Copies of this chain bind each other. A is one copy, B any other.
Amino acid sequence: MAKIAVLGYGTVGSGIVEVLNTNKELIRERVGEAIDVKYILDLREFPGDPYESLVTHDFDAIAADPEVSVVCEAMGGTGAAYKFTKACLEAGKSVCTSNKALVAEYGTELMRIAKDKNCSYLFEASCGGGIPIIRPIRSSLCPERILAIKGILNGTTNYILTRMEQEGADFADVLKQAQELGYAEADPTADIEGHDACRKIAILSSLAYGKTVYYQDVETEGITKITTDDFAYMKQIGATIKLLGMSKEVNGAYYAQVAPFVLKKTNPLYSVNGVMNAILVTGNTLGDTMYYGAGAGSLPTASAVVSDVMECVMTKGETIDSHWSEEKLALSPLDGATRPFFVRVKERAEADIKAAFGEVKFLEPIAGETAFITAELSEAAFKKAAAEFEVISFLRVED
Residues of A within 8 A of B (CB): 15, 18-20, 22-23, 26-27, 29-30, 124, 130-132, 135-136, 139-145, 268, 270-272, 276, 278, 283-294, 297, 299-300, 302-304, 306-307, 310-311, 323
A/B interface sample: 9 pairs, CB < 8 A:
A26-B143, A130-B286, A132-B140, A142-B307, A142-B311, A278-B290, A285-B299, A285-B300, A285-B302
Contact B293 A290 (CB under 8 A): yes
Contacts of A310 in B (CB 8 A): 142-143
Contact for A294 among B131, B270, B286, CB less than 8 A: B286
* Copies of the polypeptide in the assembly: 2
- Min CB distance A183 to B, Å, is 16
Docked Cα-Cα span, A139 to B381, in Å, equals 46
Docked Cα-Cα span, A269 to B118, in Å, equals 42
Docked Cα-Cα span, A105 to B6, in Å, equals 44
Contacts of A139 in B (CB 8 A): 135, 139, 307, 311
With contact pairs A23-B143, A132-B141, A291-B291 given, residues A286 and B303 touching in the complex (Cβ less than 8 Å): yes
Contacts of A302 in B (CB 8 A): 285
- Min CB distance A384 to B, Å, is 37
With contact pairs A271-B268, A287-B293 given, residues A135 and B143 touching in the complex (Cβ less than 8 Å): no
Contacts of A307 in B (CB 8 A): 139-143
Docked Cα-Cα span, A20 to B292, in Å, equals 28
Contact A135 B130 (CB under 8 A): no
Contact A293 B285 (CB under 8 A): no
With contact pairs A131-B289, A271-B270, A286-B303 given, residues A23 and B144 touching in the complex (Cβ less than 8 Å): yes
- What is the chain B residue whose CB lies nearest that of A299? B285
- What is the chain B residue whose CB lies nearest that of A140? B132
Docked Cα-Cα span, A62 to B217, in Å, equals 51
Q: A23-B285, A287-B294 are in contact. List 19 more A-B contacts (CB 8 A).
A: A26-B145, A130-B289, A131-B289, A135-B136, A140-B307, A142-B310, A143-B303, A143-B306, A143-B307, A268-B276, A285-B303, A286-B293, A286-B303, A287-B300, A288-B292, A288-B294, A289-B291, A290-B291, A292-B292
With contact pairs A139-B139, A268-B271, A268-B292 given, residues A144 and B286 touching in the complex (Cβ less than 8 Å): no
Contact A287 B130 (CB under 8 A): yes
Docked Cα-Cα span, A322 to B300, in Å, equals 23
Contact B291 A142 (CB under 8 A): no
Q: Which of A271, A286, A290 has the most CB of B within 10 A?
A: A286
Contacts of A290 in B (CB 8 A): 278, 290-293
Question: What 8 A-B pairs have minimum CB-CB distances, sorted nearest first?
Answer: A132-B140, A289-B293, A290-B292, A143-B306, A271-B271, A286-B303, A285-B299, A132-B136
Contact B289 A22 (CB under 8 A): no
Contact B285 A19 (CB under 8 A): yes
- Min CB distance A286 to B, Å, is 4
Contacts of A293 in B (CB 8 A): 286-290
- Min CB distance A267 to B, Å, is 10
Docked Cα-Cα span, A276 to B288, in Å, equals 10
- Min CB distance A18 to B, Å, is 7
- What is the chain B residue whose CB lies nearest that of A281? B293
Contact B136 A140 (CB under 8 A): yes
Docked Cα-Cα span, A272 to B303, in Å, equals 26
Contact B132 A289 (CB under 8 A): yes
Contacts of A268 in B (CB 8 A): 271-272, 276, 292
Docked Cα-Cα span, A334 to B115, in Å, equals 52
Contact for A23 among B145, B306, B311, CB less than 8 A: B145
Docked Cα-Cα span, A241 to B10, in Å, equals 43
Docked Cα-Cα span, A27 to B132, in Å, equals 22
- What is the chain B residue whose CB lies nearest that of A16? B143
- Min CB distance A153 to B, Å, is 15
